[in-house]
Amino acid sequence: MRSISILLLALVFAGCNTAQGVKKDVAIGAEKTGEALQKGGEAVGGALNKTGEVVGETLKKGGEAVQKVVN
C-alpha cells in the first residue's frame, strides 16, 4: 500500500513538472513568434517606405515634366 502511495505521488509530481515544461515551451514559442512577426513587420514597413519614396519621386518628376511642357 505504501509503495502505491509513493508511486502515485511520483506520477503526480512528474505530471506537474511536465505541465510546467509545456507552459515554458509555449511561452518560449510565443516569444519567438512575436519576435519574428515584429521583424517581418519592420521589413514590410521599410519596403513600403522605400516604395512610397520611389513613387513620390516618380510623380514629382512627372509633374515637373508636365510643368515644363505647359510653360
CA separation, residue 3 to residues 10, 12, 14, 71 (Å): 10, 14, 16, 101
pLDDT digits (tens, 9 = 90+) for 21-31: 777 878 888 88
Cell of residue 12, nine digits: 503526480
- pLDDT at residue 13 is higher than 80: no
What are the tens digits of pLDDT across the range 35-48? 998 999 899 999 99
For residue 4 the three cell numbers come to 502505491
CB half-sphere exposure, 65, CA atoms < 13 A: 6
Domain residue spans in the chain?
1-70
